[in-house]
């Protein structure tokens, strides 16, 4: 796939909601992942407000 055309949002759909989920030695927990999504929305909103 052409990396430039691949949107970050498509990527995050899969990388944050798909894939093998492990409770590992150090893993980003589900709660933080939810935070990422919320933060992304907040970030976009703040960019638009500038």
Partner 1 sequence: MTPEELLYAYAIAREGALRPETLENLTGVAGEPVRAVPHLGLAALVGRVPAAEFDEGALAEGMEDLSRLERVARGHQRVVEELSAALRCVLPMRLATVYRDETGVRRMLAAGRMDFGAALDRLDGRVEWGVKVYALMEPSEPSGASGVDGPSGACGSDAGAKPSGREYLRRRGAARRARGEGVRDIHGALAGLAERARVYPPQNSRLSGASGRNVLNAAYLVRRERGGDFTSVVGELAEAGPRSGLRVELTGPWAPYSFVREDGDG
Q: Nearest distance from residue 50's CB to partner 1, in Å?
A: 14
| Whole-angstrom distance, CA of residue 35 vs CA of residue 50 | 22
Contact pattern from residue 6 through residue 45 relative to partner 1, giving x for each residue in contact according to CB under 8 A and a dash for the rest: xxxxxxxxxxxxxxxxx-xxxxx---x--xx--xxx-xxx
Q: Nearest distance from residue 29's CB to partner 1, in Å?
A: 9
The residue among 36, 44, 1 whose CA lies nearest residue 15 is: 36
33 CB contacts (<8 Å, ≥6 apart)? 16
What are the residues binding partner 1 (CB under 8 A)? 1, 3, 6-22, 24-28, 32, 35-36, 39-41, 43-45, 48
């Amino acid at each position: 796939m052409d990396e430039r055309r691949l949107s970050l949002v498509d990527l995050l759909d899969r990388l944050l909601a798909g894939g093998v989920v492990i409770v590992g030695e150090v893993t980003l927990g589900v709660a933080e992942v939810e935070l990422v999504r919320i933060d992304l929305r907040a970030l976009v909103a703040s960019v638009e407000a500038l």
